[in-house]
Amino acid sequence: MNTGPQNDWFEKDFYKTLGVSKDASDAEIKKAYRKLARKYHPDANPGDSKAEDKFKELGQAHQVLSDKESREQYDQVRVMGSGARFTGSGGPGGGASGGFDDVFSDLFGGGGRKRTRSPYGGGGGDVPPDLADLLNGFGGSGGYGGGGFGGGYSPPVKGGDIKSNTTLSFTEAINGASVKLNMPGGKPLTVRTPIGVKDGQKIRLAGKGKASPNGGETGDVILTIKVKPHPVFTRDGDNLRMDLPVSFDEAALGAEVKVPTLDGMPVTMKIAPGTPSGRTMRLRGKGVKSKKGTGDLLVTAEIVVPQNLSKDAKEAVESFRTATENEDPRDGLLDKAKAS
């Protein structure tokens, strides 16, 4: 007779395996299992056979102790069979010295409970119905296959992940926002997005996914963030960028201008005389807040050329051209082109 996994009920202390007391609550057992399963999970210990064996032991202990009926049976076996070992392999009609029949016939021989014949032959050891089912294996639990001891143990598996997505405004992504997700089954899930989340970023919500089919960890929700573009600002890491329209006279003579910020409060910035189009200026502390600090607002000057000049404006520009006719912005350009 192959004594199989049930022999472990005599050999192994599942409470000790999970590090809990014998009177531990279901919640304490579940908490202890999850903590240890994360520590010894094969994905966290690639190539470590000892960790893999430990993970299987944890799964076996949790599967027995997390089910009320199997836990009661395990406790009975541990108390009644203390010190007993299965050494026999009796066949049809033969005795099995030190085997299941000897143990259970001694333990239950004088009781008044309903009894069921053991399917393993031997000297007529009757056992209670629950333990008879126990000896035939856990057909409905998914832990042992078939109807005996030959099936292999299947460790608990993590539940499946649920993929979801949401769209945030540019400001919501920078400051964080509460969003409500529609989950399978109709029950919504409200989550708070991190401050400074980026377009395309994926957020893992641990334990919010599908339930495990056999007592393992619950799966996760994988949330993909889409961020709407802003009409003024773009993001560069923790910095913000914007183009600032500047008139010709402001760029040439210098000026103080109002610059918008993401929080809605404009700030005054100085334009230095002679500022060319494309020059970038920095406003410190007006960017994205993050754990590393707060970024800056990078302002790029964009000189605006008037499209429709009045008569007076046109005369003023012509006067300016006359006054600066000795200045050539393309001086030396042709020579540089030939040299290359």
Return the half-sphere exposure (C-beta side, CA atoms, 13 A cut-off) of residue 25: 3
pLDDT digits over 89-123, tens only? 444 444 434 444 444 444 444 444 444 333 333 33
Q: Determine the structural domain holding residue 184 and report its residue range.
A: 162-227
Q: What is the pLDDT, as a whole number, of residue 172?
A: 94
Q: Mind spelling out the 3-state secondary structure of the chain? A: CCCHHHHHHHHCCHHHHHCCCCCCCHHHHHHHHHHHHHHHCHHHCCCCHHHHHHHHHHHHHHHHHCCHHHHHHHHHHHHHCCCCCCCCCCCCCCCCCCCHHHHHHHHHCCCCCCCEECCCCCCCCEECHHHHHHHCCCCCCCCCCCCCCCCCCCCCCCCCCEEEEEEECHHHHHHCCEEEECCCCCCCEEEECCCCCCCCCEEEECCCCCCCCCCCCCCCEEEEEEECCCCCCEEECCEEEEEEEEEHHHHHHCEEEEECCCCCCCEEEEECCCCCCCCEEEECCCCCEECCEECCEEEEEEEECCCCCCHHHHHHHHHHHHHCCCCCCCCCHHHHHHHC
For the chain, what is the radius of gyration of the CA atoms?
38
The tally of domains found in the chain comes to: 3
pLDDT in tens, the chain (340 residues): 334 445 567 778 889 999 999 999 999 999 999 999 889 988 888 888 898 889 888 888 898 899 888 888 888 887 766 544 444 444 444 443 444 444 444 444 444 444 433 333 333 333 344 443 444 443 344 443 334 333 445 688 898 999 999 999 999 999 999 999 988 877 899 999 999 999 999 999 999 999 888 888 999 999 999 999 999 999 999 999 999 999 999 999 999 999 999 988 999 999 999 999 999 999 999 999 888 889 999 999 999 998 889 999 999 999 998 998 888 888 888 888 888 6
The answer to whether residue 140 is domain-embedded is no
Q: What is the pLDDT, as a whole number, of residue 339?
A: 81
The verdict on 219 and 323 lying in the same domain is no
Q: What is the pLDDT, as a whole number, of residue 93?
A: 43
The backbone region for 237, taken as left when phi is positive above 0, alpha when psi lies in -120 to 50, beta otherwise, is left
The CATH number assigned to the domain holding 119 equals 1.10.287.110
Q: What is the pLDDT, as a whole number, of residue 186?
A: 79
Q: What is the pLDDT, as a whole number, of residue 81?
A: 61
The CATH number assigned to the domain holding 202 equals 2.60.260.20
The verdict on 17 and 123 lying in the same domain is yes
Q: Which residues pair with 271 in a beta bridge?
A: 255
Instruction: For residue 225, give the nearest of 286, 287, 182, 163 by alpha carbon.
Output: 163
pLDDT digits over 297-322, tens only? 999 999 999 888 999 999 999 999 89
- How far apart are the C-alpha atoms of 176 and 147, rounded to whole Å? 55
Q: Looking at 203, 227, 251, which one is the last position of a domain?
A: 227
Q: What is the pLDDT, as a whole number, of residue 189?
A: 92
The verdict on 73 and 40 lying in the same domain is yes
The verdict on 280 and 296 lying in the same domain is yes
The verdict on 35 and 111 lying in the same domain is yes
The verdict on 61 and 102 lying in the same domain is yes
Instruction: For residue 64, give the nearest of 26, 114, 109, 121 by alpha carbon.
Output: 26
Residue 222 burial class via C-beta count within 10 angstroms: exposed 0-12, middle 13-18, buried 19 and up: middle
The answer to whether residue 122 is domain-embedded is yes
The verdict on 251 and 172 lying in the same domain is no
Return the half-sphere exposure (C-beta side, CA atoms, 13 A cut-off) of residue 326: 1
What value does the mean pLDDT of the chain take? 79
